[in-house]
Each structure stands twice: as structure tokens, then as C-alpha cells.
Amino acid sequence: MNPPLHSSETPLVGVVMGSDSDWRVMSDASQALTDLDIPHEVEVVSAHRTPDKLLRYGREARARGLQVIIAGAGGAAHLPGMLASVTALPVIGVPVQLATLDGLDSLLSIVQMPAGVPVATVSINGAKNAGLLAARILGAADARYGDAIEAYARTLEAQVEEKNRRLKDSL
Ligand code: RP5
């Protein structure tokens, strides 16, 4: 499945990825944002293959109204860090697992940022949590999103309790 086209609403979150091949993972971030009614956009931006686009995207993101960037990449995953170096927005990095090295290469490329240029790195293939973290960042200033995260937490709680009940009923 390919990334969808831009949403028509003004996006608050930019979900970017180094290749369309990352969409199999990064779609989880988009889905989490959709589930919480958070307007977002999806874009393929490659640190190595489209460097001019990367710089433009990062430099213009804030002025366009984005509040958070989620950036996923695999292998020599320089996209999140390079974006963080040209924008003041919070950047959440998603290490995408490729066929080799179990995603450790992606994780280390993203997490080991030099002091002064932070990237909030989630787990390997942790795109869903990246979407939820972006929602929490928005929720700090906008109660709608904070409330949505609290409601989501209650859903998780109810699901665990339901499974607990079923497990005990099966004994
Ligand atoms: C990275 O190279 C991308 O983020 C992707 O994870 C990886 C492979 O890209 P493709 O060769 O599949 O386009 O920059």
C-alpha cells in the first residue's frame, strides 16, 4: 500500500519517511493520528536522495503550521536528525527495521544525536507510539487532544481487564 495523498485539513503533524517502502511501518503513526482526529500530512522525504526537499520541508514546517514532525527511516537513518537540525519543532524519530541488522542500525542512527539537537526516538518500528507521543505533545496545549489521549488510556485499561476476565473464566 502506498502513502495517501495530503489531507485537505490544515495538518498539525507531519509524518515523513525516507522511502515509500517505510509506509508498511509508518502507516501505524498515521492510523494513530487518524483515530485521535488529528489532522496530519504524509510525505516521502529522503535525507540522501532528496536532500534539497529535506531542507525545504524542515525549514518551512513551522511556518506552515505543523507542530510536530514524525520521521521514520531505515538503515543509515539520517532523516529525523537532519530535520531536527533545521527546525525548532519537536521531531520524533522512528527506526524502521530493514531486512539486515534487525533495525539496530536504524535505531542507533536515530538515537545517538549530538547534544543540542534532540530527537525523541521511539522503539524499532514503534510508529504507533510515535503517533501517540505526537498527540500527547499537542495535548499539552490543546485540551481536545489531551482528553483524547486520556480516553484512549481508558480504552486500553478496559481491554486489559476484559482479557483478564476471559483468562480467569477459562480456568
Ligand atoms: C532509507 O533506506 C529509507 O528510509 C528506507 O528505510 C531504506 C530503503 O529504501 P528503499 O531502497 O526501499 O527505497 O533511506
Report the CATH number that the domain containing residue 61 is assigned in CATH.
3.40.50.1970
Question: What is the mean pLDDT for each group of 10 consecutive residues in the chain (171 residues)?
Answer: 60 98 98 97 98 98 98 98 98 97 97 98 98 98 96 97 98 95
pLDDT one-digit tens code per residue, 35-67: 999 999 999 999 999 999 999 999 999 999 999
Which protein residue has the closest C-alpha to ligand 1 atom 12? 21
Q: What pLDDT was estimated at residue 62?
A: 98
CA distances from 163 to 131, 154, 159, 168 (A): 25, 14, 6, 9
| DSSP letter assigned to residue 87 | -
For a pocket test of ligand 1, which of 17, 22, 54, 102 has the largest count of ligand atoms closer than 8 A to its C-beta?
22
Q: Is residue 78 part of a domain?
A: yes
Domain count, the chain: 1
What's residue 52's pLDDT?
98
Residue 4 falls inside a structural domain: no
User: Could you give the 3-state DSSP secondary structure of residue 37?
Assistant: coil
Residue 25 included in any domain: yes
- Domain-embedded: residue 125: yes
Residues spanned by the domain of 158: 13-169
Over the Cα atoms of the chain, what is R_g?
Answer: 17
Instruction: Report how far residue 42's alpha carbon sits from residue 29's, in angstroms, rounded to the nearest whole number.
Output: 10
